[in-house]
Amino acid sequence: MSTYGRPPDASFADATTVLSPPGSGQGHWVGAPCVHRHGDQTYLAVRWRTPEERGHAVTVYEYDGPASLSECARITADDLGVVSVERAALCTNPRTGDLQCYLPVDRGGNDWVIQKLGDVADPETFDPTTAHTVLAPTPGTTDGGTVKDPVVDVVGGQYVMFYAGADGLSEQAHLATSVDGETWTKHLDNPVVDRAYWHDHHVRVSTVVPATDAPVWLVFYDGSGVADHGRTWNLRTGMAVSPDLRRVTDTSPDGPVYESPVADRATGVDSFATCRYLDVLRHDDEWELFAEVARPDESFELRHLRTDPP
The whole-number pLDDT of residue 267 equals 45
pLDDT average per 10 residues of sequence, the chain (310 residues):
89 95 96 98 99 98 95 99 99 98 98 99 98 99 98 98 97 98 98 96 98 97 94 95 98 95 59 93 98 94 97
Per CATH, the number for 12-307 is 2.115.10.20
Residue extents of the structural domains in the chain? 12-307
The whole-number pLDDT of residue 11 equals 94
Strand partners, 33: none
The whole-number pLDDT of residue 270 equals 73
The rounded distance, in Å, linking the Cα atoms of 305 and 291 is 9
Give the residue from 50, 58, 54 showing the smallest Cα distance to 76.
Answer: 58
The whole-number pLDDT of residue 281 equals 99
The whole-number pLDDT of residue 268 equals 52
Are 236 and 252 a contacting pair, CB within 8 Å? Answer: no
